[in-house]
Structure 1
């Protein structure tokens, strides 16, 4: 009963956060485009952050922007994206535009000295990633901050999950990210090639990033990729895909992604990590009560599963299964399995003294670190430009393997 009550209370605060008073040096955000995702990714998280004010919105259709501002209690509407960038009162820009416009408007924003939080994927291709993240604008003194919104990496549960992984001895990782079709309607830019559509580039970014995080390395190759194209005339867009990547040391990573799940299906964001069999040699790593006779050796095979890695504040579970084997002269003396489940809603739950509340979503933790970086405070978690560039290369690798074209580089970037 206590668990159910905490679940209800936590989710009530997630969806109806209490707004805190704002600090004098709060960042004033402008939202570029009247996108639904902004409410979850910025507007609600900003309510509980004293250092963030959602000040303005601009859209191609000003009437749409005005209605959006009224609906979300945003005090200002700019006439255009350009007007927003020219406003000295706006210190940061959030970009949830179609992917095909991300690189262009991020470059334009940083050229005006604005900090940028850009929705993932930050770019449509590795070519765009090179143009953005290697831009001299980001290496100049006092350069603006740019963050690609791979928000799941900022969660306490994710950081704790990684502490359970022995990266060099991982054998296989399987990461799944799928959503029902009704969450990505037919009119969505994610379903059109011209606007950067495709499951691999969009929702597939998450499981591909998961592989890199768990392995602590970049993939050496994509050994298999099978994609299901959308019906004509959108056959360049993948509705779902499965891909396998090879990592150093014989390690294998697999992803499953899709934006066209059935009407009765639920969003699924899971990751499973299986380790190789390794010898347990340190005394402090021996399970409680285990004593080895002369000539005996203890081995362990670990499997760790994180269910709902994307939205851990709503609900998640980390399952740890360790299979132990005692051998003597290659003969199995004893074999047993231990199981444990953990839930980590704050850094305090993981034994770390860092800010956080059980109702903070991944986006709220991300916003915390974005503001910290703007003010010169570096936290433990971040998505660097180098990270985003490597991520874009991995996506291109998958498209090349499955035979679909790499997403189109924008004319703005081609003209640079």
Structure 2
């Protein structure tokens, strides 16, 4: 309990002193923020303070007054009056794009055209057509091309990496993922529910589908069903909650559930984003006449923000089966269950021999990998903990967009609209 309180004190209240910043222009990556979004402080500003080679240099918003107030609050030195003005700033090396979903495609392409590296909030695009145009853009083909990363930050944390190491992907039988948000947290007039801006629960809670892809290590062959809930009297094209079912190449199945308007009492019953994976029985011991079989279930509670709190529950059910000479099997001779709980707040606890701190959030791990790619392109040595092998590449992001499209199609809802913007 003391460790949990101490860790969250560092996360939420008292961050340790940041490291001194590099002074050489080649050593520094200067970020610009496209939009004064609520997610920006936790997703970029705080982890940037923890990295010696990152400076949040500028912010732009459609409302210059809002951008100025944001800059003053977070100590950002430069305010631009438009997104394009920020992209035209030669001092900026990279941009973070936390704009509404429907603006991701256009402003990511505009940023790449300006030669900026792009850390792009998920979902990367409104649909798979946009994702293919973006991630296969000629702007990314000619080295040294800008670096583009879709910000699935949860993938970079130690707890997720340990969880994946505990799975045996070929023998997974079923995986279920759930993520909910209390209705009080998101007003009904929020941009998340605007069709033109790429709104909808499947878009906003896209984590659930990405988790399934990570669990199986491949793409689904089919969305076998998807039902949605909409606001009574609201835009019929917008889903506020969904339940989807999936089939994977090994014959395994998946279930996804997300809700952006869950009742408070229901949320309190099970507040954490959770994934549960059930494996098929596998032989772990035997001499020909008897066989010991194990059926493993692995559950990760809070797959999104593991530094705050998480728990990995492992349950192994063992059975001993006697085999007759004719190949048939007798009833089970013995059953027993072994349970274990694991946690990984650091990389070493996840089996990776690299230093990290228990209070580091997912966003810091993500930023370290992003900066590692930029520094590698510049021919510089690593100064953080990047280079651990975790990344979200172009085809990965395209496949994720296709999965969202599959769900909307199965639900009978239109795909989010494709932007008409194309680079000149």
Q: Which TM-score band (shorter chain)?
A: over 0.9
Is the aligned partner of 1:393 residue 2:402?
yes
Map 1:8-407 onto structure 2 (within 5 A): 8-15=5-12, 16-18=14-16, 19-24=18-23, 25-203=27-205, 205-264=206-265, 265-266=267-268, 267-281=271-285, 295-329=289-323, 330-331=329-330, 332-376=332-376, 378-407=387-416
The CA distance in 2 between the partners of 1:411 and 1:354, in whole Å, is: 45
CA RMSD of aligned residues (A): 1.4
Find the residue that maps to 2:274 and give its secondary structure: strand
Find the residue that maps to 1:249 and give its secondary structure: coil
Q: TM-score normalised to the size of structure 1?
A: 0.94
Is the aligned partner of 1:6 residue 2:3?
yes
The CA distance in 2 between the partners of 1:9 and 1:342, in whole Å, is: 19
Off by >4 Å, runs of 4+ in structure 1: none
The CA distance in 1 between the partners of 2:190 and 2:93, in whole Å, is: 29
Deviation at residue 263 of structure 1 after TM alignment: 2.8
The CA distance in 1 between the partners of 2:189 and 2:79, in whole Å, is: 25
Deviation at residue 68 of structure 1 after TM alignment: 0.8
Contact residue 162 and residue 351 of structure 2 kept, 8 A: no
Gaps of 5+ in 2: 324-328, 377-381
The CA distance in 1 between the partners of 2:312 and 2:272, in whole Å, is: 15
The CA distance in 2 between the partners of 1:386 and 1:355, in whole Å, is: 30
TM-superposition CA deviations, 1:85-104 (whole Å, max 9, x none): 11111111000000110010
Find the residue that maps to 1:250 and give its secondary structure: coil
Gaps of 5+ in 1: 282-291
Find the residue that maps to 1:412 and give its secondary structure: coil
Deviation at residue 239 of structure 1 after TM alignment: 0.5
TM-superposition CA deviations, 1:214-265 (whole Å, max 9, x none): 1011000100100002233422110000000111121101100010011342
Aligned length: 401
Q: TM-score normalised to the size of structure 2?
A: 0.92
